[in-house]
Structure 1
Amino acid sequence: MELTKSLRQYPLEDIIHDTVRDEPADYGKNKSDFSSTKKFKALKRIPLSGLMDLKIDYAFKQLFGIEKNKQITIVFLNEFLQKTGRDPIKDITFINIEAGGEYIDDKQSRLDVLVLTTAGEKINVEIQFTDQYNMIKRSIYYWSGVYRSQLRSGMGYDELSDVISINLLNFNIFDQTERFHTMHHLFEDEEQFKLTGVMEFHYIEMPKLLKAWKEDQLDPWNDVLARWLLLLGMIDHRNKKFYEDIYRELEEIAMEDETLRKAFHNWEELSMTPEQFLAYESRLKHILDEEAAKREAELRAQKAEKDGMKRGMERGMERGMERGIERGIKSGMKRGIEQGEKKAKKLIAQRLLSDGAEIQYVMGITELSKEEVLEIQKDIMG
């Protein structure tokens, strides 16, 4: 499968290095407040097709899951926490943890990004590119592993910290809502009070996000989470879609948002590093090959089902015809015998009546009804 060509093939004039302003972000301003700002390129400009798709787990981890980009990750995660009223993160520590037994052969599955906050919360960020139709159970499984892993000898259950699960999905899973960001906790059924805060799930459905963007329902100038999520949705290598309009909007916002500007720079540097881009291409190819193999298996199953139904119908028709002929013969023979017996009985009745036998006597001998015997007698008398 042909993937994005190496960035080394792009001419130097396609990559622009410009001076940027290092000013703190002011999220309270509206887009109109910047309309009179002198516009200039804040970011190195490479073709969008040369950027890694951040919805691929490898690229996401390289930008959000490493120590040197810790401040970017803190800002990104804080936008989720403030949606549920949690205190902002001051600092994080990256943790490597594996969840075992996910598959039948008990393979180990490394979590995408897991951090420990200074408040003791553990935040697991999972990015899923392909719908495996098990995302809710998968996220609960990962959550339970992280929550259970905290317990050490001598600890009490009240010492277990909250675990927050953030799931970034390249597909939709909830038909009940058009909202791209849903948050889930444990609540009492009738009065809806929260059972506990130790369990918290966030689901981001990227197709709904892009739909909201196209319908002009997003304001990344005032919704900081929306601008970060649009950053993730801007590149779509699988479908060869690259959203220039999103780039232009975020580029202008990055004039005032220092962390977003840093994320752009690091993203482009990552994409321009040959070794990193080669590893990214390898991971993307692996995912696309898995999708193709799964699709081929589904098509084969559908064809087998269709062929099976066709053969079943043909066999059913053949058997039906055979049974119909057999039943027809049996039914015809039965009717013929019945009709022959009836005719013989009428002949006997006719002879008895001609010899002057009583009607009741004839009925007893032939088992004909009174009406039938009277009809025969009428025919004899002419």
Structure 2
Amino acid sequence: MSVKTLRKIPLERFVDLKVDYAFKQFFGTEQNKNITVAFLNAILDRTGRNAINEISFMRQEFGSEHVDDKQSRLDILVKTQEDLFINVEIQLTNQYDMMKRTLYYWSRIYTSQLRKGMGYHKLRPTITINICNFSLFEQTEDYHSIFQLYDNQGKFKMDDVLEIHFIDMNKFIKQWYAKQLNSWENVLAKWLMLLGMVDVRKEKVYEEIYLELEALAMKDEELFNAFNVWQDLSQSPEDYYAYQSRLKYILDEAAKLEDTKHIAEQEGLLKGLERGIEQGLKQGIEQGIEQGIEQGIKHGEKKMQTEIALKLLKRNTDIETIAELTELTVTEIEQLKGLHD
């Protein structure tokens, strides 16, 4: 086994595994199941769960229950030999809805287990793993945060049905460069190095990480095999084209979202909403009417969403994109369009 075996392609040719298409091809396919099992065990090791020996890839789509519901498509969903459901999501850009979307996905997977005549006691734990290319929690410098159901005071666990992991790639890279991690002993670190070596948004490849991965792969058969799978994926013309197409879409959507935020800020809608909420809270406290506060906040949010939707309609933005950005339903946006045509 020689070092040359690992350097088949130029470093800049490696695909960024944080782009969901590449991530799914790498971790979400039957032929790479052993890689997926090793990766999941590295993440779940901190919660003391039994090691995963076998997984089955599950259907990734949840159909809409109502006409205006959003279609949910998961990145990776597996079921283990102990009937645990594990959903893994990769996020290259911040869509500013991670918390609520995470809980929504978790609840849909958890409740999907229930069948007619089935007792609640048969519901199995559901685990969500979010790998983010941005920071969510200012309260900690840890790159791996785990949330479960605990009592607020005594800190004892209510149940193990809910387990949510957040992995912050920015904090991981920062700690790696600060030499705060020992990748020879930290099993998870080597897998996160694979995910972090390429940063397509910064148009950067971390050669220092590559060199350490190369040395690790010489001693680790799982990592060595994963490295070669990554190279094969990066060299496939069909996969590379699909990867580039998906990357363009993700970056375009991120730009649209930033543009929408800029429009709202320019018009003073966000600042106006914040002032309105503060005033509403103050007045509500003085009057002791909590219900009035809630209604005031909801009205302000709805007004902001409507104003943003109208501006995007004037720019001929498609209705589906507006729905995603404003959280208005397709029906509401079509009604707005009809009133202002």
CA distance in 1, matches of 2:35, 2:44: 15
CA distance in 2, matches of 1:249, 1:102: 48
Instruction: Look at both structures and tell me which one has the larger radius of gyration over its CA atoms.
Output: 1
- Match of 1:132? 95
- Match of 2:167? 204
CA distance in 2, matches of 1:104, 1:271: 39
- Match of 1:328? none
Compute the displacement of 1:109 (Å). Answer: 2.0
Work out whether 1:167 is the aligned partner of 2:127.
Answer: no
Structure 1 pair 139/73, CA: closer, same or farther in 2 (3 Å)? same
| Sequence identity (%) | 51
CA distance in 1, matches of 2:161, 2:67: 29
Work out whether 1:75 is the aligned partner of 2:38.
Answer: yes
CA RMSD of aligned residues (A): 2.0
Q: State the AA in 2 paired with 1:298.
A: K
Identify the match of residue 241 of structure 1 among 199, 204, 219. Answer: 204
CA distance in 2, matches of 1:60, 1:174: 24
- Match of 1:289? 252
CA distance in 2, matches of 1:300, 1:82: 44
CA distance in 1, matches of 2:256, 2:185: 42
- Match of 1:182? 145
CA contact (8 A) 1:171 1:205 kept: yes
CA distance in 1, matches of 2:177, 2:159: 37
CA deviations on 1:280-338 (whole Å, 9 max, x unpaired) are 000000011111222223333333339x99xxxxxxxxxxxxxxxxxxxxxxxxxxxxx
- Match of 1:261? 224
- Match of 1:122? 85
CA deviations on 1:16-58 (whole Å, 9 max, x unpaired) are xxx45xxxxxxxxxxxxxxxxxxx3341331222111110110
Q: What TM-score do the two structures reach when normalised by structure 2?
A: 0.76
Q: State the AA in 1 paired with 2:212.
A: E
Work out whether 1:279 is the aligned partner of 2:217.
Answer: no
CA distance in 2, matches of 1:301, 1:102: 31
CA contact (8 A) 2:95 2:257 kept: no
Which sections of structure 2, spanning at least 5 residues, go unmatched?
A: 273-341
CA distance in 1, matches of 2:203, 2:174: 17
Compute the displacement of 1:96 (Å). Answer: 1.3
CA deviations on 1:169-224 (whole Å, 9 max, x unpaired) are 11100010000001111011111110001110110011111111111111111001
Q: What TM-score do the two structures reach when normalised by structure 1?
A: 0.68
CA contact (8 A) 2:95 2:254 kept: no
Structure 1 pair 133/164, CA: closer, same or farther in 2 (3 Å)? same
Q: State the AA in 2 paired with 1:226.
A: A
Work out whether 1:113 is the aligned partner of 2:71.
Answer: no
CA distance in 2, matches of 1:151, 1:298: 40
CA contact (8 A) 2:60 2:75 kept: no
CA deviations on 1:56-99 (whole Å, 9 max, x unpaired) are 11000000000000000000001122110000001000001323
CA contact (8 A) 2:88 2:130 kept: yes
Work out the number of aligned pairs and report it: 271
CA distance in 1, matches of 2:23, 2:144: 19
Q: Which has the higher contact order (CA 8 A, sep 6+)?
A: 1
Compute the displacement of 1:100 (Å). Answer: 4.3
CA contact (8 A) 1:42 1:251 kept: no
Compute the displacement of 1:104 (Å). Answer: 8.8
Q: State the AA in 2 paired with 1:148.
A: T
CA distance in 1, matches of 2:158, 2:231: 44
